[in-house]
Amino acid sequence: MSTAEQKLQLTWEEAVAWYRRQPDNDAAIEANYFDTDVMAAANRFAASEEFAATFELVPKAAKTVLDLGAGRGIASFAFASNHFNVTALEPDGSDDIGAGAIRKLAREGGLDITVVEEFGEQLPFESESFDVVYARQVLHHARDLRKLCGEVARVLKPNGIFIAIREHVLKSQNDLAAFLTSHPLHHLYGGEYAYTLEEYLSAMEAGGIEIKKIIKPFDSVINFFPQSESEMLEKAFRAKMQSLGLTRGAGVLWKVAKLFVENSRALRASCVETLNETGYHAGITYSFVGTKSVRADAQKRQ
């Protein structure tokens, strides 16, 4: 990076363009869906293990989806391709990584996606408008997390579901500096942040969202994609063996233990839980599933 780039506070679009120019970065660009060809990125996301696992969380009766902080629209494209009525909310109008890119996807894909340029803290929709509010890597960017969560609860239908995917989590705010330093783009555009698990849960509860499920970092491919399920299980097995004081040098014992784990759902779950406990790094990703709380429903009806 040049001295000029170091000193310049770039826009998000400019930061992504810089990222694409870095050598040996093709795998990271693909993993982050930063392809210059937005249609290629959208098709790959729609076919990904992450989206397949996310899709399983969506109620079968759901018809309307709000893609909150939709970015360049890869999730909007995926939901619309599965016959949902999709509204994409994205404050950045960029033709590359914002609302303009979503309109291009809708046009070229022959899909009906309503695109709205606005921030999540002030949703321009009537109350109880959506069956699903989906937010991928969005909450940690909120200017006012509690207000955003309150708006999510407001626009959710009574039986609707809120799915917040891949949120950066800290053990304590003392870890924030380490996370920001490790992020490849924060030093360019300054838009990253992260909260503790307690802060996320508190904001959602205060906003009127009742948490139904906390998806820990290694519980689902939703969080650890593009790493595969088999790669994660291998890592989880090693973490479990290490916690028991065993290494590959254990020979036959190692192989027997691995065979037992491969054939036991309970043992695999135990390995994954060990990895959840020991695999922390600043900004590790969690996901959340929630509904409009009874309290929020009651307030709406008063």
Residue 222 inside a domain? The answer is no
Give yes or no: residues 285 and 274 share one domain: no
Contacts of 289 (CB under 8 A, 6+ apart): 57, 161, 162, 163, 164, 211, 212, 213, 215
Give yes or no: residues 58 and 177 share one domain: yes
Q: What is the pLDDT of residue 247?
A: 76
- The tens digit of pLDDT for each residue in 53-89 reads 999 999 999 999 999 999 999 999 999 999 999 999 9
Give yes or no: residues 101 and 80 share one domain: yes
Domain containing residue 10: CATH number:
3.40.50.150
When divided into structural domains, the chain yields a total of 2
Position 250 confidence tier, pLDDT thresholds 50, 70, 90: low
- What Cα–Cα distance (Å) separates residue 9 from each residue in 87, 98, 172, 189? 31, 18, 27, 5
Residue 255 inside a domain? The answer is yes
Q: What is the pLDDT of residue 3?
A: 42
Q: What is the pLDDT of residue 112?
A: 96
Rounded CA separation 230/130 (Å):
35
Give yes or no: residues 185 and 253 share one domain: no
Give yes or no: residues 270 and 288 share one domain: no
Rounded CA separation 234/68 (Å):
34
- The tens digit of pLDDT for each residue in 193-240 reads 999 999 999 999 999 999 999 999 999 999 999 999 999 999 999 999
The residue segments making up the domain with residue 259 are 228-278
Q: What is the pLDDT of residue 294?
A: 72
Residue 185 inside a domain? The answer is yes
Give yes or no: residues 131 and 243 share one domain: no
Give yes or no: residues 289 and 274 share one domain: no
In the predicted model, is pLDDT for residue 1 greater than 60?
no
Residue 246 inside a domain? The answer is yes
Residue 103 inside a domain? The answer is yes
Residue 236 inside a domain? The answer is yes
Give yes or no: residues 260 and 289 share one domain: no
Rounded CA separation 34/220 (Å):
23
pTM attached to this predicted model: 0.91
Give yes or no: residues 24 and 127 share one domain: yes
As a whole number, mean pLDDT of residues 39-54 equals 98
Q: What is the pLDDT of residue 297?
A: 61
Residue 223 inside a domain? The answer is no
Q: Kindly give the interhelix angle for 74-81 and 38-46, rounded to the nearest 10 degrees.
A: 50
In the predicted model, is pLDDT for residue 269 greater than 90?
yes
Give yes or no: residues 105 and 181 share one domain: yes
In the predicted model, is pLDDT for residue 138 greater than 50?
yes
Give yes or no: residues 33 and 106 share one domain: yes
Give yes or no: residues 260 and 209 share one domain: no
